[in-house]
Amino acid sequence: MGRLIIVSNRVPSPRERSQPAGGLAVGLKDALREGESLWFGWSGKQVQLHGGDPVPRLDRVDNVTYATIDLTPLQYEGFYQNFSNGILWPLFHYRVGLMNYSRTDWKTYLAVNAMFARTLLPLLKPDDTIWVHDYHLFPLGQALRDLGVKCRIGFFLHIPFPPWSLVRSLPGADLLLEDMQSYDLIGVQTPEDAENLNHSLQANGLAARGQAFPIGIDPDEFRAQAEKSMKGPEVERLEGSLRGAKLVLGVDRLDYSKGLPERFRGYEALLARYPEHRGKVTFLQVAPISRGSVEEYRQLRRQLDELTGRINGAYSEFDWTPIRYITRPLAREVLAGFYRRAEAALITPLRDGMNLVAKEYVAAQNPANPGVLILSHFAGAAPEMDEGILVNPYDPDEIADALHAALTMGLAERRTRWQALEQEVSSTTAISWAADFLRALDAAPVAGRS
Ligand code: ADP
Ligand code: F6P
């Protein structure tokens, strides 16, 4: 059997305990337990190069060889910061108005994809299967085909795929879709994304190759981590500091797609409309800074600083603070225990590809006394997780009502809802997701290649 070659912009460092927050790195790492594989992508570093392509650095851990390259500061800016995160990210999260298009960045995006293809090429063998991930690398398959690569190549998009009426606002969207014909199979998170993608392809006279493969987590590992973490010093400290208050937890990268200001306003509405919860509930939002050099992300940070200050100023007592807000990541082990301790998870993205935090929260619960998941209709996970309380994140009063319902829900209803959610989380895991995708890729027709 040939090797599996994973290509993604972000590659988790195999030797560091703390990993960057983000569903792609977490989901794939969980999926790569078996077989021989190579994971190729950006090192996360910027280095000035004087001519020529970077040379991949190789590091082998267990069955995975990690091959990473640095970007130059200009590539980082044009490819990662501006085109991927300043243009594709807002557009694919249905926020066309936030898209800052520039032709120069488009050229850098294509050039970096071509450079990825050239530097990956010498590491490839004819019987490899290549699996390219996410929006940073839409054109990579075609760039590899242009260099003569005949292996099977699949693509998976971790973020939503919006309708063609939005996608077409991107100048060159038709060219990106044409490049995607180089993939033998294109996976997306939900049936709605698959429908939008296939419609976009067909609107451009191209073959519909999109199929939904919802990503999952490793629930057993997460559950074990949560149980262990409950006995650790951090959960003990958290418990002590809460002094009997119920805990509502939010965990997200600090990203405007996550609906954080809307969430804070929803919590504020809870305190305003249901005063019985004042002093008896604490909202802990952990939101590590992400893409901090992109202006929209800086603005969001300022907005949240202001909102937190305002709400805490209005409702705090000398011995109680309603919102605790942390902009640093937490270690996964600690996070797992915090999920288990929390009476409710408040997950309200305005759009999200999947949202693994929702699945982690469910996996971490104590079956005898589970907490309640409050989830936005607009998370990719919502159709699978409708036993949680689903909310429209744009309505603060709906969030407040959901929080009140969660904080007052009886044990029997919490258990019934959680059992259904837990079954769902256990049936589609990171491992089954990868296996399903790769099986379908293996079976996909390889039209026109000898
Ligand atoms: P995205 O891919 O948009 O970041 P997901 O919810 O799918 O969103 O995945 C986020 C992943 O990153 C999860 O595995 C989550 O545990 C991790 N993560 C998110 N926020 C934090 C945090 N504050 N500290 C540690 N890990 C985090
Ligand atoms: O899962 C969506 C995603 O965009 C990944 O592609 C990415 O690695 C992650 O979120 C975190 O973002 P970044 O790599 O820009 O820090």
User: Dihedral sign, CA of 266, 269, 273, 276?
Assistant: positive
- Is the CB–ligand 2 distance for residue 291 below 6 Å? yes
- Would you state the pLDDT for residue 19? 62
C-alpha–C-alpha distance, residues 341 and 325, integer Å: 17
- Would you state the pLDDT for residue 7? 97
Q: Which of 158, 179, 277, 401 is catalytic?
A: 158
219-427: CATH architecture: 3-Layer(aba) Sandwich (3.40)
Q: Hey, what are 400's tokens? A: 């407040």
User: Dihedral sign, CA of 408, 413, 416, 420?
Assistant: negative
Paired with 254 in beta bridges are: 289
Q: Decide the pairing of beta strands 210-212 and 185-188.
A: parallel
- Would you state the pLDDT for residue 32? 76
- Would you state the pLDDT for residue 450? 60
Q: Output the tens digit of pLDDT for each of the chain's 450 residues.
A: 789 999 999 998 777 755 666 667 777 876 676 788 999 999 999 999 888 999 999 999 888 999 999 999 999 999 999 999 999 999 999 999 999 999 999 999 999 999 999 999 999 999 999 999 999 999 999 999 999 999 999 999 999 999 999 999 999 999 999 999 999 999 999 999 999 999 999 999 999 999 999 999 999 999 999 999 999 999 999 999 999 999 999 999 999 999 999 999 999 999 999 999 999 999 999 999 999 999 999 999 999 999 999 999 999 999 999 999 999 999 999 999 999 999 999 999 999 999 999 999 999 999 999 999 999 999 999 999 999 999 999 999 999 999 999 999 999 999 999 999 999 999 999 989 999 999 999 999 886 676
- Would you state the pLDDT for residue 319? 96
Q: Hey, what are 431's tokens? A: 């491992």
| Percent of the chain predicted with pLDDT > 90 | 91
C-alpha–C-alpha distance, residues 199 and 52, integer Å: 40
C-alpha–C-alpha distance, residues 69 and 52, integer Å: 13
ipTM for the whole complex: 0.97
- Would you state the pLDDT for residue 175? 98
Residues 382-422: tens digit of each pLDDT: 999 999 999 999 999 999 999 999 999 999 999 999 999 99
- Would you state the pLDDT for residue 13? 79
Does the active-site annotation cover 352?
yes
C-alpha–C-alpha distance, residues 444 and 130, integer Å: 13
Residue 293's SS3 state is coil
Q: Which atom of ligand 2 is nearest to the CA of 253?
A: 11
- Would you state the pLDDT for residue 449? 74
Q: What is the pTM of this model?
A: 0.96
Residue 261's SS3 state is helix
- Residue 134 and residue 54 in contact, taking contact as beta carbons nearer than 8 Å: no
Does the active-site annotation cover 158?
yes
C-alpha–C-alpha distance, residues 353 and 157, integer Å: 8
Pocket of ligand 1 (CB under 6 A): 21-23, 26, 251-253, 286, 288, 329-330, 335, 354-357, 360
**C-alpha closest to that of 349 among 21, 94, 91, 88:** 94
- Residue 282 and residue 247 in contact, taking contact as beta carbons nearer than 8 Å: yes
- Would you state the pLDDT for residue 21? 61
- CATH class of the domain comprising 4-216+430-443: alpha beta
Distance 132 CA to ligand 2 centre (A): 14
Distance 259 CA to ligand 1 centre (A): 14
| CA of 253, nearest ligand number | 1
CA nearest ligand 1 atom 27, residue: 21
**CATH 3.40.50.2000-classified regions of the chain:** 4-216+430-443, 219-427
